[in-house]
Amino acid sequence: MSQSNPKIGDTRPVIRQLDDAAINRIAAGEVVERPASAVKELVENAIDAGARRISVDIADGGKTLIRVTDDGCGMSADDLPLALSRHATSKIDGTDLLNINSFGFRGEALPSLGAVGRLTITSRAAGFDGAQISVSGGAMSDVKPAALNAGTVVELRDLFFATPARLKFMRTDRAETQAVSDVIKRLAMAEPSIGFALRDVSQGDTRLMFRVDPESGDLFNAMHGRLARILGQDFAENALAIDTEREGLRLTGYAALPTYSRGAAVMQFFFVNGRPVKDKLLLGALRGAYADFLSRDRHPAVALFIDCDPHLVDVNVHPAKSEVRFRDPGLARGLVVSALRHALAEAGHRSSSTVAGATLGAMRPETIQPRPAFQYQMDRPSATARAINYQSQAPEPRDFGFAEVANVSARMDPVIDDAPAVETDYPLGAARAQLHENYIIAQTETGMVIVDQHAAHERLVYEKLKKQMRENGVAAQALLIPDIIELSASDCAGLLSVADDLAKMGLTIEPFGGTAIAVRETPAILGEVNAKNMLMDVLDELSDWGSSQLVQEKIEAILSRVACHGSIRSGRRMRAEEMNALLREMEATPHSGQCNHGRPTYIELKLSDIERLFGRT
């Protein structure tokens, strides 16, 4: 039974010009998705106006009230009606749509907000009197005088009252409030010289949700201080400074150590010319940079800023301006990958301080009585005094000593007396004992280090294998009969565009006529592989991330397993010189602070923290 097409009528459709109110409501659907979108547009306008302090008040998640107050340049009475007109902006003159140096440039935000809510703008420019204008559901009022010292106050009430259907798609007040907070924090990270404040004024109660004051100092000091206040002090302590430049692109920011990873991608922030963006190319580059240090269920924490000539990047991709397009995507991706890998390599054996914090948190000292008003604190003896005390207190040969402890399951192996003395001024100190045939205890100048011998040596062997592979290349095995794989035209073109990169990993492909691809060689270390399945997985990664690390990850996974089987096993007793040799090699090897899966290889405890556990401070 056939069914008529509902789009085909008996009469010819008539083309008509939509009125301004309908046009603005349609534009609002693109620009203003939720209250957080409105906050983003208004705060970006305040930043473009040169504000140094921006205050945001919201009620009911921004559904009933959004008020943005700034101390920027302001507008005159003559400017206000024009600001509410479509495609009216002071940011560009329209001659060069690539030379954009401001957040806003479309001239759509204010008229769109006025079309779907009740918008009031009060502003005063230097040398002019204050003025106010209102627009409700697209209907604009006359300009009238208003009292204001300087800057601009934009108040948006009853968002989407003119489009009630959109209100049905709003989430809970709590979820919308969190989205607004996230927007403010992202913009605050991009502008450390500006102070931000976010208050919730729901039901007449004022609650300060977020506040940061303007940061002082140079670029990195201001950035570091702002990130510490927004992402936390732990991130600031365990992040590596990034500053590199290549062919007109400059990358700055901070990237956390692999041992400071997260269970979700909630601490990954990218900014292009100060604009917060969510770009698959950059996220794929970040994933590739950390691929060798984190398992797939862990995610790095970064805040990275790319600055370049506006002509090298197109921000006019989407009305929300959250996506960008680089003129040379490969250059941007390579810059991120190389800069992060270089910074991680320079970090050497460094591990995140949160590992020690978690260790101390797991220790529960015995509950003690409250301290008296006066408590005797024993002075800490010097190193010479300690050595004399140890010698005078050494047990006699007939006394119970380490020899009788050899058969105890929870045994501690001391450093052999006749072993050469090792100074403790090394970063990882000098080995003093071995616990449970797996953990090395080392003494440093300021505390102690506990090393997982198997995890540490596994990483050292892995790094040696990777170095050998880089120097000698990836051995490829030629297929006796090449695999011919039929693909779509787009998939075939996508694979051939990365053929050179795949060849470096031992996977050689070439066109075979039409949309077919011939697989000539595969990496020898992978053994027998299903070439078609591998290529389909590569295509999936190209689609998701804009690049593929699949072949390299498979090879490195094999090397990781080889390193695991070839490293010192748990349960092996080590001599003092072996333990110290392992510590020295860790200090000289990049990335030795974490194992092949991103877990820490050692824990450092400061003497002051240990003393605190015993109530000595």
Report helix, strand or coil for 102. coil
Every domain of the chain and the residues it spans: 20-212, 219-347, 408-617
Q: What is the pLDDT of residues 16-36, one digit of tens each?
A: 777 766 666 666 666 678 899
| pLDDT at position 556 over 90 | no
Tell me if 80 sits within 8 A of 121, measured CB to CB: yes
Closest-CA residue to 356 (of 128, 63, 600): 600
- Beta strand 302-307 with 313-314 is unpaired
Residue whose structure tokens are 């479509």: 86
> For 16-47, b where at least 16 C-beta lie within 10 A, e where not — what string?
eeeeeeebbbebbeebbbbbbbbbbbbbbbbb
- Whole-model pTM: value is 0.72
- Sign of the Cα torsion 469, 473, 475, 476 reads positive
Q: For residues 47 and 50, give the distance between their C-alpha atoms in angstroms, rounded to a whole number.
A: 5
Q: For residues 246 and 308, give the distance between their C-alpha atoms in angstroms, rounded to a whole number.
A: 10
Tell me the DSSP string of 355-409. Answer: HHHHHHHH--PPP-PPPPSS---PPPPPHHHHHHHHHHTPPPTTS--GGGGTT-S
Q: What is the pLDDT of residues 365-408, one digit of tens each?
A: 555 555 544 444 445 555 555 555 545 444 444 443 333 333 33
| CATH topology for the 20-212 domain | Heat Shock Protein 90 (3.30.565)
Point out the least confidently predicted range of 20-24, 125-129, 178-182, 604-608: 20-24
| CATH topology for the 408-617 domain | Ribosomal Protein S8; Chain: A, domain 1 (3.30.1370)
Q: For residues 400 and 171, give the distance between their C-alpha atoms in angstroms, rounded to a whole number.
A: 70
Q: Which residues pair with 275 in a beta bridge?
A: 272
User: In this structure, how many other beta carbons lie within 10 angstroms of the beta carbon of residue 412?
Assistant: 14
Q: For residues 582 and 350, give the distance between their C-alpha atoms in angstroms, rounded to a whole number.
A: 15
- Burial class for 346, CB neighbours closer than 10 Å (0-12, 13-18, 19+): exposed
Percent of the chain whose pLDDT exceeds 90: 31
| pLDDT at position 3 over 60 | no
Report helix, strand or coil for 61. helix
Quick check: do 20-212 and 219-347 share a fold? Answer: no
| pLDDT at position 602 over 70 | yes
User: In this structure, how many other beta carbons lie within 10 angstroms of the beta carbon of residue 174?
Assistant: 9
**Once rounded to an integer, what is the mean pLDDT over residues 83-111?**
68
Task: Specify the CATH number of the domain 219-347.
Answer: 3.30.230.10
- Sign of the Cα torsion 13, 15, 20, 23 reads positive
Phi, psi of 377 (to 5 degrees): -120, 115
Beta strand ranges found along 187-321 (DSSP E): 195-200, 207-212, 239-246, 249-256, 268-272, 275-277, 302-307, 313-314
Q: Which pLDDT does position 196 carry in this prediction? A: 97
